[in-house]
Amino acid sequence: MESDQNRTSPGPAGVCPPVGIQLEGVILPPVLTLDVVLGLLGNLVAFWIFCFRIKSWNPNNLFLFNLVIADFLALVSLPLRIDALLRGHWVFGDAVCRINLFLMFSNRTASIALMTVVAFYRYFKVVHPHHRFNRMSKAQAGMLSLFVWLLVVSPRVPMLAYNHIKGGGNATQCFFFTSYKEASRGIIILVGMHRILTVLEFIIAMAMLLFCSVRISRFLKERQMGKPDKVRKAMRVCVAIVVVFVVCFLPTTITTIGVWVIRSYRPWDCGAFYTFTQLTIVSLGLNFLNSALDPVVYVFSSSMFRKAILDSMPRLLRCGRDEGEYAVSSSASQSTSQQELKSLRSGRESDAI
């Protein structure tokens, strides 16, 4: 194993040596394992509810279902990555490496894009209820979802065309951004494009999410619809999405900018390059935490989803709540419940406040 001095000093050609598996080999395996376990549990439940418990589909549920698919694509790629980190090297060959990287990074972009679509769909439902966007059919929602997937996958397809294996034997790695200077010009362009996408997709999506949250809140208050419970319900989805978004994707964005700055303005500082590259790889564990946290978004985003969960729970777990509801019910609350149930049947409650 190379010494710290050799690892953080420029090599004979004046460039930093490739980064080996060090910090991420300790931190990532338990983090990614937790991501896989929680993500599979939550998304299997979500998949079952979407496929077998929700009878009436609408565009909002279709967008959320696509988010489930994106999460599964990420989860199936993680076990191989965990194995490589535990071994200290990659043993699955070039083809599997390309597919693994493609799935990992496509999921990040897909999750960001689909969460933004969900937030904007709610924005139009609340702030512009008569806009034609709200009359979107299921077929049109499907076409929009397909467009989002094409937008997401297209920039990542070139990853499948290049060999990302570095080193050999017990030093084999399957990463494409751990070297300071790549031998192939195509890889240099690909890594640069990846870093640009990582930063831009976060900044643009974050700005759009904040816009939706602020506009929804202001609209309700200006229209004197700002009852505390109503505002909370309207804001829950946007707040949940923003929180998941920041926790999962902000660290990778910051460390990617750090690598960018070092390569541009401190090309001789191999120690800083090594540190930020390690932190970028470690932060990927938070990227995949979104697969475990996305079911929280489903609960806040769809009353149909919440109702399906409650209906699926054993009666024993619901009886206490039911008895409490009956004890405090009045004619007014019964009328409200009937109105909510009527709205649920029409499919509007899942998209409205």
pLDDT above 60 for 16: yes
The pLDDT value recorded for residue 296 is 75
Looking at per-residue confidence, does 28 or 298 come out higher? 28
What the chain holds in terms of domains, given with CATH numbers, is 13-329 (1.20.1070.10)
Q: Quick one: DSSP state of residue 136?
A: -
pLDDT above 80 for 312: no
pLDDT above 60 for 269: yes
The pLDDT value recorded for residue 259 is 84
φ and ψ of 96, to 5 deg: -65, -35
The pLDDT value recorded for residue 338 is 46
Task: Report, as an integer, the average pLDDT of 210-226.
Answer: 77
User: Which tokens is 333 given?
Assistant: 């609350």
pLDDT above 80 for 109: yes
The pLDDT value recorded for residue 314 is 65
φ and ψ of 159, to 5 deg: -60, -30
Query: Mean pLDDT for the chain?
Result: 76
**Spatial CA neighbour of 78 closest among 112, 108, 45, 110:** 108
The pTM assigned to this predicted structure is 0.74
The pLDDT value recorded for residue 224 is 59
**What is the gyration radius of the CA atoms in the chain, in angstroms?**
23
H/E stretch holding 209 reads: helix 185-222
The pLDDT value recorded for residue 73 is 83
Looking at per-residue confidence, does 90 or 233 come out higher? 90
Q: 53-99: per-residue pLDDT in tens?
A: 887 788 888 988 998 898 888 888 889 989 988 888 889 988 999 99
